[in-house]
Amino acid sequence: MAKDSTGQDILELRSMPVETMESILATAKEMKNIVLRDIKKLPTLRGRSIINLFFEPSTRTRTSFELAGKYLGADVVNITTSASSVVKGESLRDTLLTVEAMGVDVIVMRHSAEGAAHFAAKAVQPIIVNAGDGAHEHPTQGLLDMFTIREKKGTIAGQKIVIIGDITHSRVARSDIWGLKKLGADVHLCGPATLMPRDIGELGVTVHARVEEALEGADVVNVLRIQKERQQKGLFPSAREYARIFGVNDARLKLAKPDVLILHPGPMNRGLEIAFDVAYSEQSVIQEQVTNGVAVRMSILFQALMGGKKIEAVD
């Protein structure tokens, strides 16, 4: 099914053209000015409707999309379907068809199954924005990380960027890898071998077993959230041990560049993957990532709906 002529699905950064990423990042800059001003309202998407269709709870991402849509003047509705109330696999197409029948323009979708956004894009006409599909990708988070790094460092090209934690289960890591590499970054990964996909090196990243080695000379460190459930599955022995071996703390950060930037997709487990003093240090841009998230999502909704068009002067 072809989408209408201007719109486009936002499914993943792996296949997204660099020009599209650049255009989203450029527009996000203008959007951030809107977010920071007193009256945050644009008429750009007036008369357009957006549904946040979340099959996994995520207050943070959902709220970010909701505000992004509203600041642009769109009508935004949230549907949060807890995974337990949906019979596995059976109802995704039905749910999508129902939403489509209500006449929405954009479906922002979060789902626990890898590829769910691709499935949706093929199943229905509205534009699909992937807000996270299993461990596959989280393209809007990737773009907001890119936006934040570029804002602080001026460029992404040539930066040593280290992603630390549970790579196996991280959609953020995958979107970051593609996005950052396309813009010329030197991407390094680190985490327990049990949480590192065996062949991830084939994606053109450097994998480190020791966090000290990974942090050496790093420009940017993105610390991933560790889910304690992984411990029950035997993927690491204890939180205590994780913090001791892989936790990002002040002492370890001395190995990085003095102006190293600390990112975290949140919510944080302070004292586990990230030490308290690091989370709130000068180098931490974790709070700012949240603000940037709204700006980037405004830009993404704009890109998705208006594809290619230039935003009219916003001031």
Partner 1 sequence: MKLLIKGGRIINPALNMDIAGDILITDGCIAEIGQKIDGAGAEIFDATGYIVAPGLVDMHVHLREPGLEAKEDIYSGTRAAAAGGFTTIACMPNTKPVVDSSIAVSGIIQRAQNEGVVRVRAIGALSKGQEGKELAEIGDMVAAGAVALSDDGHYVSSARLFQAGLLYANMFDKVVISHAEEESLVEDGHMHEGAISAMLGMRSRPAVAEDIAVMRDVMLAEYTGARLHIAHVSSANAVEFIRQAKKRGVKVTAEATPHHLTLTDEAVIGFDTATKVNPPLRSADHVQALIQGLNDGTIDAIATDHAPHAAEEKDMEYIYAPSGFAGLETSVGVILTSLYHTGQCTLPQILEKMTIGPARILGGEAGVLQPGAAADITLIDPDREWVVDETTFYTKGKKTPFSGQKLKGKAVAVFVAGELIMKNGEVLK
Contact footprint for partner 1 (CB under 8 A): 14, 88-90, 92-93, 111, 113-116, 118-119, 134-137, 168-171, 174, 197-200, 202-203
Active site residue 264: no
d(CA 195, CA 15): 25
Catalytic residue among 110, 136, 160, 188: 110
225 marked as part of a ligand binding site: yes
Active site residue 48: no
Alpha helices in the chain (DSSP H): 18-36, 59-71, 92-101, 116-123, 139-153, 171-182, 211-215, 229-232, 239-246, 250-253, 276-279, 286-306
Nearer of residues 198 and 310 to partner 1, judged by Cβ: 198
7 marked as part of a ligand binding site: no
Spell 285-297 as b/e; 16+ CB within 10 A means b.
Answer: bbebbebbbbbbb
Dihedral (CA of 204, 207, 211, 212) sign:
negative
- Minimum distance, C-beta of residue 88 to partner 1, in the bound complex (Å): 6
Nearer of residues 27 and 170 to partner 1, judged by Cβ: 170
d(CA 312, CA 300): 15
217 marked as part of a ligand binding site: no
Nearer of residues 138 and 297 to partner 1, judged by Cβ: 138
First to last CA, the chain: 37
d(CA 131, CA 45): 19
| Strand pairing report for 220-223 and 160-164 | parallel
d(CA 107, CA 242): 38
240 marked as part of a ligand binding site: no
Catalytic residue among 37, 88, 122, 210: 88
- Minimum distance, C-beta of residue 155 to partner 1, in the bound complex (Å): 26
Structure tokens at 221: 């460190």
- Minimum distance, C-beta of residue 63 to partner 1, in the bound complex (Å): 24
Active site residue 27: no
- Minimum distance, C-beta of residue 61 to partner 1, in the bound complex (Å): 17
110 marked as part of a ligand binding site: yes
Catalytic residue among 32, 138, 160, 264: 138
Catalytic residue among 40, 60, 70, 118: 60
267 marked as part of a ligand binding site: yes
- Minimum distance, C-beta of residue 71 to partner 1, in the bound complex (Å): 31
The set of catalytic residues is 60-61, 88, 110, 138
Binding residues, as ranges, are 60-61, 88, 110, 138, 141, 171, 225, 266-267
